[in-house]
Amino acid sequence: METSERAKALPYDRDSVDHVLTTTRSVRRRLDFDRPVAPEVIEECVEIAIQAAPGGGEARPWHFVVVTDAARRAAIGELYRAGFRRFAGQAEEGGGRPMRPVIAHLAENLHRCPVLIIPCIEGRAEGEGQGAQAGLYGQILPAAWSLMLALRTRGLGTAWTAIHLQHAEEVAALLDIPDTVSQATLFPVAYFTGEDNFRRVERPPVGEVIHWDRWQSRRPPTSP
């Protein structure tokens, strides 16, 4: 079957799927802090997310800590702000890239998000080699990205951030996360304001990021 014919036979609208994949952005300024998010919407999105979560054998090592309690959100927000200020200070002192104002906006308002989600994975890989780290986080990061997509298609915005991991132990203690579990990232979740008018962003040409058969080999093989 030719490629165009195969595309027509697919049981989904590929253009819509590609649109969501290429325009899902981290949302920071356009989060509606005052609109509640129903628990069943979060459950629905997590159910979708774990479909994309690879597990070793019959393992089911994924967990999503959903934080809605105001006091816990406030405590996480304070730890997040401390981590942000440390990052910002290091960037200024070291001449690194300064933190964008939109990131500072999220740091100052993280506690106002109606929902915070921390995707977690059973196991720890600190001090382990690349294989152990890739194997561990490779089981939860696909689920986290799928969760971000599922939220987007329901009008919910979020931002992929891990600044809180500077205080991972304090966050774990606050949420009773066991020592044997690793936190992967943090999603502040809220309905986004305005229309769903997110666009593609500028990225390097694909020819600059693909290496064919060996590093820096840019010539693609001849199509069969």
How far apart, in whole angstroms, are the C-alpha atoms of residue 209 and residue 224?
22
Threshold 0.85, pTM exceeds: yes
Q: What would the pLDDT profile of 131-181 be if each residue is shown by its tens digit?
A: 999 999 999 999 999 999 999 999 999 999 999 999 999 999 999 999 999
pLDDT score of 74 more than 80: yes
Q: Domains, the chain, ranges and CATH?
A: 25-194 (3.40.109.10)
Q: Give me the pLDDT at residue 1, please.
A: 45
Q: Give me the pLDDT at residue 212, please.
A: 96
Q: What would the pLDDT profile of 208-217 be if each residue is shown by its tens digit?
A: 999 999 999 9
Q: Provide CB contacts within 8 A for 187, sequence distance 6+.
A: 116, 117, 118, 119, 144, 147, 148, 151, 158, 159, 160, 161
pLDDT score of 91 more than 70: no
DSSP 8-class letter at 29:
T
